[in-house]
Amino acid sequence: MITLYDYELSGNCYKLRLLMSMLGIEWKTVPVDFYPGREHKSDWFLKLNPLGQLPVIDDDGFVLRDAQAILVYLASRYDPAGTWYPREDPKLLGEIGQWLAFADGITGTASAARLHDGLFYDFDVEAARAGAHRLFRILDEHLWFGEQEGRDWICAANHPTIADIACFPYIMLSEEGGIPRQDYPAIRRWCDRLKRIKGFIVMSGVFPAGPARAA
């Protein structure tokens, strides 16, 4: 059984809940009082992750940290169809790696702005917002041309990958950091598509989509 060290309002923890739900795997949760308790800096947690960051999983004794790394692990181990992280397709793996790094950039900007506004972190919020807008412009352009080419997802595949999961949460939560998505229509449409993937679940701050039109 997978144990997820989890904080409800964390977009990085949500990435894992989302993928596990879409993969149909069960997990149990150990709540970590990230705020206000700063339990991720407590002694017991630092033994799990010396970086003092969420999320962490424990899969029958195998302990792993870092949201993107855990996505790679979960998809590689628990996706029998092998579509979320297609191990046999080097180009696609390269692309996924590229966008996982991009997702870290989103965390460093959009998530930082949200932590500033919501939880009073002492960050340069204007720089964080400007950085997020720069990334969102790049992603919106990428997704718009994807639509023109008949591609619905971030990577060149006819199905979503963990790159989509990695980018999604802090984009959806960006308004909590004062970053509107009005100027990114292709991102907004991609968010709707992602919300319609079977097994999708919400977190606080993310609303579900309505049903798609019957084909």
Partner 1 sequence: MTQPKCQDPVILNLWHPLAAVSETPAGVVAETVLLEERIGYAVDGAGIGAAWRSRRDLPAGSSIDVAAVADTLPAKIAYGYIWTSLGNPPDDLFPIPEYAEADRRRLNAATMGVNVSAPRAIENFLDMGHFPYVHTDILGAEPHTEVKEYDVEISVDRDEILATRCRFFQPMASTVSTGGADVDYVYRVPHPYCSVLYKSSPVDEARLDVIAIFLQPVDQEHVRAHMMLCVLDDENEDKVIKRFQQTIFGQDKPILENQFPKRLPLDPRAETPIRADKSAIAYRRWLSQKGVTYGVIPAAS
Partner 2 sequence: MLDTAKTRWHPIAASSDLPFRHVFHAQLLGREFAVWRADDGYVNAWENRCLHRGVRLSIGINDGRELKCQYHGWRYSNRTAGCTYIPAHPADAPARTITNRTYPAVERYGLVWSAEEPVDEVPAVSGLAEGDLLVLRGIPLNAPADLVADRLKDYRFQPSGRLDGAEADVTVEAAGAFSAALCSRDGDAATLAVFFVQPVDSGRSVIRGVLDSRLEGAERLAVLRHHNELLSKLRDTLERDAAQMPAPAPIEPVIERVSPELAEMPEATPHGRKAAIRVQVARKWAAADGIAGFELRPIKGLLPTFQPGAHIDVHMPNGLIRQYSIVNGPGESDSFGIGVKLERDSAGGSSCMHETVREGDVLAISEPRNNFPLRRDAVKTIFVAGGIGITPLIAMAQALKNQDLAFDLHYFAQNEAQLAFPERTGTLGMALKPHLGLSPEQTGAKLREILSGYRPDTHLYLCGPGPMLEAARTIAAELGWPETAVHFEYFKNTKVIDDSSSFEVALARSCMTLTVPAGRTILDVVREAGVDMPSSCEQGACGTCLATVIEGEPDHQDVYLNDAEKRSGTKIMTCVSRAKSARLVLDL
Q: How far is the CB of 91 from partner 2 (least distance, A)?
A: 19
* 176: region left, alpha or beta (phi > 0 left; psi from -120 to 50 alpha): alpha
Of 125 and 155, CB closest to partner 1: 125
Q: Does 183 bind partner 2 (CB under 8 A)?
A: yes
Of 5 and 153, CB closest to partner 1: 5
Q: Which of 117, 32, 101 is nearest to 68 (CA)?
A: 101
Q: Please report where in the chains the tokens 């992750």 appear, as a residue.
A: 49
Binds partner 2 by CB under 8 A, chosen from 64, 197, 203, 209: 209
Q: Does 43 bind partner 2 (CB under 8 A)?
A: no
Residue 78 touches which member of partner 2, partner 1, none, C-beta under 5-8 Å by kind: none
Provide the angle, in degrees to the nearest 10, between the axes of the packed helices 125-148 and 185-195: 80
Distance between CA atoms of residues 103 and 168, nearest Å: 8
Residues in contact with partner 1 by CB under 8 A are 7-9, 31-33, 35-37, 39, 117-120, 175-176, 178, 203-207
